[in-house]
Structure 1
Amino acid sequence: MSNAVKLADFLQDNANIRVLQGEEYVSQKKIKVSDIYRPGLELSGYFDFYPVDRVQLLGRTEISYAARLDSDMRKRVFDKICEPETPCVLISRNLPVPKELKAAAAESKTPILISNDATTYLMSMINQYLAAKLAKRVSVHGVLVEVFGMGVLLTGESGVGKSETALALVQHGHRLIADDRVDVYQRDHETVVGESPKILKHLMEIRGIGIIDVLKLFGIGAIKDETEISLVINLTNWDSKANYDRLGFQENTRIICGIAVPQVTIPVKVGRNMENIVEVAVMNFRAKAMGFDAAKTFDENLTSLIAENTEEEKEGDKD
């Protein structure tokens, strides 16, 4: 996990959440875990396993229950909920904030945030946001592009033509995510996501030209911040002695962040239109995912033809 998410950055990225109280403390607060907590048992006074370091989310259930408590009990409960380690308290649905909570938050220098959104929506949205921000990232050498809406990681040795192929794909209307170095992280058990390091965002290096800004040259439609990596295309220099897959029966994968991502190897040779080949590879991969496998069809046709010829030979032997 990375160190933390600054509360100020969290608020900047989530415009539906605003500061109700404690604006002066926002810059001092950081969120270190992605889990969100709704203090339920704590309102009844049970704090044995209270996760003090989480964002504390109070919805209609918590606020209405707190309203039934007497003032002294509310004060004791909120004094314990608002600890110096608590990053913030978030109130959903623009619900009224108990004065005891405001006092406890002011005493512990805990910001109170508020939103008009429903509690369950906030919980899901914040959890996804923090899980992505706090996820462990690893760097992969390659170029990440989105082709026909699918994230494709172009890999291969330096100088094989990854950036040039990506540039041609951008000119075909596809989108660049990252060039040269891709930061990847695991979103869930089946998904790995790639993004560009901040220092390289929207930039691409083309040998003979230098650094270009894809956003300024091709517009907002030519770039994207992140994408799920669905396919790895390994570009390799053409070797006449190598045994390349000509029919498409081989199924290889590359392990990225513990997840097996499908991989195909495409040899690079002078005169080959690599961007067109990459586009076809992506369309073929999507067709396979939908159940249309050309290699399988060829194999079935070949098997059927062999069977027919065998039957004809048997009939000829009988005559």
Structure 2
Amino acid sequence: MSVVTVEDVQNRFGLELVAGREGIERNILTSDISRPGLEMAGYFDFYLAARIQLLGKTELSFFNKLDEADRLDRMDRLCSPETPAFILAHNTECPIELKQIAEERRIPVLQTEHPTTRFSGMLTNFLEGQLAPMTTIHGVLVDVYGIGVLITGKSGVGKSETALELVKRGHRLIADDAVEIRQVAKNVLIGNAPKLLQHMLEIRGVGIIDMMTLFGASAVKDDKRILLVIDLEVWDPDKMYDRLGIDEEKMKIIDSELTKLTVPVRPGRNLSVIIEVAAMDYRMKRLGINAAETFSNKLEMAISEEARKSDEEGIE
């Protein structure tokens, strides 16, 4: 899981810091956001202090109607040591009581011009992506016809060279060598490259190349949902490889399962074309068109018909 600070949120959304500069590096531990309406009325039995507290016009208009003693009491109880930050929507003016107490306790107070509900959704999506369970896998991630394809295999099997050929054919590179994968929801995995390796590709004998510089911005992409895994392995003449595509193999990453294809590698096989076809076939299966099942059904019908004819001829 990545570490997200209040400063990361400030930079991501261009928020203005109103108070609590010394606490700008506080960690945010949950993607959930609270709008402390009941707390403004004095009900703190279930106050979720570890969340970012988002204050909109509703909360602040009620707060402004309280007398001075209640205002101080509410802000004193809201500014808990676990509270990462307060964010004021609609560029609403920060109450003096909040500014004073937040400054004393080093809790950042920020402002955004966005409406409360819209900003709540934007911030939740950002935090869910950043705080999602994460793992790193050795492989290459490419966007082929809109399908995120994770290419795996032993070192030297030809993953990067295949990715280079795919980019030359108009597809996009997301990550080479190390793919950071976040599970943002059940069976939803988003892959990206580490910042140091972003847009870079390693070709043995050539070295590190910058794909965006060579092929332009359309040749790369920052992240992509992974839908298909293709494992490249050196051709083993004693191994039986799937020739129909009926049996579907799965690969588990974190808590999600992905469709996996094992593609044997030997001289003369055009891996980039094979991966293109695999991506298109995966898309067709998602639309309900399965060529392998259709062929299998036709084959069973043909066998049944031949058996029926044989039975009829035997009776005659």
TM-score, normalised by the number of residues in structure 2: 0.93
Task: Return the match for 2:234 from 225, 234, 237.
Answer: 237
1:239 alignment partner, SS class: coil
1:96 and 1:117 map into 2 onto residues whose CA distance is 14
Offset of residue 45 of structure 1: 2.1
Q: Does 1:125 align with 2:122?
A: yes
Is 1:207 matched up with 2:183? no
1:12 paired to 2:11: yes
Which residue does the alignment assign to 2:276? 279
Q: CA deviation at 1:318?
A: 4.1
- Deviation, 1:94, is 2.8
Determine the C-alpha separation between the residues in 1 that align with 2:219 and 2:8. Answer: 26
Structure 1 letter corresponding to 2:63: A
Q: Aligned pair count?
A: 316
Q: Hey, what does 1:160 align to over in structure 2?
A: 157
- Residues 289-308 of structure 1 aligned to structure 2 (within 5 Å): 289-308=286-305
Q: SS of the counterpart of 2:97?
A: helix
Which amino acid is the alignment partner of residue 103 of structure 1? Q
Report the equivalent of 2:22.
25
After superposition, the C-alpha distances for 1:9-32 in whole angstroms (9 at most, x for unaligned) are 2222223xx215127436443323
**What letter is aligned with 2:123?**
I
Aligned to 1:263, what secondary structure does the other structure show? strand
Equivalent position to 1:186, from 183, 187, 193: 183
2:277 partner SS: helix
| Secondary structure at 2:129 match in 1 | helix
Choose from 298, 308, 311 the match for 1:311.
308
Task: Pick closer, same or farther for the CA change 1:149–1:240 going to 2, 3 Å.
Answer: same
2:173 to 168, 173, 176: 176
What amino acid sits opposite 1:100 in the alignment?
E
User: What secondary structure sits across from 2:263 in the alignment?
Assistant: strand
Aligned partners of 2:88 and 2:111 also within 8 Å? yes
Q: Secondary structure at the match of 1:133?
A: helix
1:242-281 → structure 2 map (5 Å cutoff): 242-281=239-278
Tell me which moved more, 20-29 or 176-185.
20-29
Worse overlay, 108-117 or 271-280: 108-117
Q: Is the 8 A contact 2:20 2:102 kept in 1?
A: no
Q: Is the contact between residue 39 and residue 74 of structure 2 (CA under 8 Å) also seen in structure 1?
A: yes
2:99 counterpart of 1:94: no
1:230 CA drift (Å): 0.5
Is the 8 Å Cα contact of residues 144 and 194 (structure 1) preserved in structure 2? yes
2:54 is the counterpart of 1:40: no
> Which SS does the other structure have where 1:151 is aligned?
strand
Consecutive unaligned residues of structure 1, counting only runs of 5 or more, are none
Match of 2:222 in 1: 225
**Residues 209, 20 of structure 1: CA spacing in aligned structure 2 closer, same or farther, 3 A cutoff?**
closer
Q: Secondary structure, in 3 states, of the residue corresponding to 1:248?
A: coil
Deviations 1:29-72 (A, max 9, x none): 33232221111222122334433332110123212221332222
Residue aligned with 1:271, SS: coil
**Higher deviation after alignment, 150-159 or 114-123:** 114-123
Task: Give yes or no for contact 1:186–1:257 (8 Å, CA) kept in 2.
Answer: yes
Q: How far is 1:118 from its partner?
A: 2.5
SS of the aligned residue for 2:208 comes to strand
2:101 to 99, 104, 107: 104
- CA distance in 1 between counterparts of 2:40 and 2:23 reads 25
Deviation at 1:174, TM superposition (A): 1.0
Name the amino acid aligned to 1:130.
L
- Residue 116 in 1 paired to residue 91 in 2? no
Amino acid at match of 1:129: F
Cα distance in structure 2, aligned partners of 1:133 and 1:312: 64
- Which secondary structure does the structure 2 equivalent of 1:249 belong to? coil
Whether the 8 Å contact between 1:71 and 1:100 is mirrored in structure 2 is: no
Structure-1 separation of matches of 2:12 and 2:25: 17
Q: Is the 8 A contact 1:84 1:109 kept in 2?
A: no
- Aligned equivalents of 1:79 and 1:27: distance in 2? 19
List, as ranges, runs of 4+ consecutive aligned residues in structure 1 with deviation greater than 4 Å.
none
| Cα deviation code 1:225-267 (max 9, x no counterpart) | 1111111000011122210101111210001012111100111
